[in-house]
Amino acid sequence: MGQAFYVTGTGTDVGKTFFSSLFMAKYGKKFGFRYWKPIQTGTISADDTSFVQNTTHLPDSHFLKPSFEYKTPASPHYAAKLEGQSIDPKTLLALISKERNNNTLIEGAGGVFVPITENYLTIRAIQESNLGVVVVGSTELGTINHTLLTLEVLTSRFIPVYGFYLVGPKNDLQEDNATMIQKLGGVSLLGITNFPEQKLSSDEFNSFASTHFDIDRNVIDVVLNAEDEI
């Protein structure tokens, strides 16, 4: 029996899928993890599941198909509306519940206040799923504010936050950013991984993940030990 966990970000395109790719490359095969993005918008130009699979070259058995897919790159509530559809939160929660005792990385769409419907926010889905969360933030200027806001809203709702992980371009601010977020947010820094300096093949990316991601095993240890804590 395993334990699913949720990956959320401090905003859209902050690096959740990069983090997820790193995690799956390093731990997917070793610990039998699967990647799942339940709600995928913008399929006309992007597909995060295919991106992670192409990046890591893991077999199909390590991936679950999105349960709700929409063409327009927009908030789920609006992308669904444009196609004459809507997302049923009860259905979403039931699907998440089925994965609860599996080693599954569940990547959210955007940040915690992204509307899934006009009356149902992502933060509520996270809370009602009762899963632990890893918050992904940027290494760059502005991340202290954005990450602290995300941590505040999660912890104020008593959602178990495993910690935060920063990804992005290497810069002179990132170490202080991480220190201040940890000090002011009261949540553990799980690690920092900078973007590769050039495009990598899948073999090169897997090697990069092995040497640059979760060097101190903070992420995998908290995820694997979470079952006893929630």
Tokens of 11: 């905003």
> Any known ligand binding at 48?
yes
Return d(Cα 209, Cα 133) in angstroms, integer: 21
**For the chain, the helix, strand and coil percentages under 3-state DSSP, each to the nearest 5:** 45, 20, 35
Q: Is 37 a catalytic residue?
A: yes
Distance CA 130, CA 158 (A): 10
Q: State the amino acid at position 97 in one-letter form.
A: S
Catalytic pick among 37, 71, 81, 90: 37
Annotated binding residue 18:
yes
> 163 a known binding residue?
no
Q: Is 107 annotated as a binding residue?
A: yes
Positive/negative CA dihedral, 69, 97, 113, 171? negative
23/136 Cα distance (integer angstroms): 12
Q: Is 110 annotated as a binding residue?
A: yes
Token pair 């999105």 in the structure block, residue: 66
β-bridge partners, 40? 69
69 annotated as ligand-binding: no
Residues facing 39 on adjacent strands: 68
Q: Is 88 annotated as a binding residue?
A: no
**Is position 109 annotated in a ligand binding site?**
yes
Is residue 17 annotated as involved in ligand binding? yes
Catalytic annotation, residues: 37
**Known binding positions:** 13-18, 41, 48, 107-110, 197
Name the binding residues for Mg(2+): 17, 48, 107
Which residues are documented as binding site for substrate?
A: 41
